[in-house]
């Protein structure tokens, strides 16, 4: 009886273990399936993204090529247009330079003639001024010489007068000195005579 009970317990225990193992296995399978599907999904998504990237890259390359060709065409067109404009501007500039050169030459010619006329006029004016200054200078010299001659004459008269005055003055002084000396001699003679009379 006890043996039967043990068998029943062991059977229940086995069933319990089998149930647990089944659950574990089921859970494991489920996890593995989910993981597998998840991995496949990820791989598919990656491959899809990669493919999309390649398609995008190919489309971008095509677009770049197209844009490059369009740009090259545009540059060529712009270059031709620019060259035409430069040529046009060069011709226009050359025409302007030619026009300016002719105008400048005309101006120089006109200025040269005007300058020559001015020089001629200045030369005539200068000659007239020199002539005028020469006449003025000659008149001044003549006037200065006459004034100098007048002064010399005046100085000579003054000097002669001075000499005459000095001579008269000197003669007066000599006369005065002689009279004084004669007076002095007479006085000395009188004194000697008086001295002689006293001695006798």
Could you write out the three-class secondary structure of the chain?
CHHHHHHHHHHHHHHHHHHHHHHHHHHHHHHHHHHHHHHHHHHHHHHHHHHHHHHHHHHHHHHHHHHHHHHHHHHHHHHHHHHHHHHHHHHHHHHHHHHHHHHHHHHHHHHHHHHHHHHHHHHHHHHHHHHHHHHHHHHHHHHHHHHHHHHHHHHHHHHHHHHHHHHHHHHHHHHHHHHHHHHHHHHHHHHHHHHHHHHC
Give residue 66's pLDDT.
85
* Structure confidence at residue 39 (pLDDT): 63
Residue 74 scores a pLDDT above 80: yes
How confident is the prediction for the chain on average, in pLDDT? 84
Note the pLDDT tens digit of each residue in 75-120: 888 888 898 999 999 999 999 999 999 999 999 999 999 999 999 9
Domain residue ranges in the chain: 168-200
Tell me: the pLDDT tens digits for 35-61?
A: 665 565 567 667 777 777 776 777 777
Say whether pLDDT at 162 is over 80: yes
Percent of the chain with pLDDT over 70: 76
């Amino acid at each position: 009886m006890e043996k039967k009970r043990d068998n029943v317990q062991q059977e229940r225990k086995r069933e319990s273990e089998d149930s647990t193992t089944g659950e574990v296995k089921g859970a494991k399978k489920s996890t593995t399936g989910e993981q597998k599907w998840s991995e496949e999904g990820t791989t598919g998504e990656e491959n899809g993204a990669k493919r999309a990237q390649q398609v995008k890259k190919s489309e971008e390359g095509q677009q770049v090529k197209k844009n490059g060709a369009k740009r090259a065409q545009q540059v060529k067109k712009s270059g031709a247009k620019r060259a035409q404009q430069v040529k046009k501007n060069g011709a226009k500039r050359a025409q302007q330079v030619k026009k300016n050169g002719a105008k400048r030459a005309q101006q120089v010619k006109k200025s040269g003639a005007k300058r020559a006329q001015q020089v001629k006029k200045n030369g005539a004016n200068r000659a007239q001024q020199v002539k005028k200054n020469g006449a003025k200078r000659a008149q001044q010299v003549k006037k200065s010489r006459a004034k100098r001659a007048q002064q010399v004459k005046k100085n000579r008269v003054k000097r002669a007068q001075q000499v005459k005055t000095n001579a008269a003055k000197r003669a007066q002084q000599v006369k005065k000195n002689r009279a004084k000396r004669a007076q002095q001699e007479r006085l000395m003679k009188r004194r000697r005579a008086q001295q002689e009379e006293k001695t006798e």
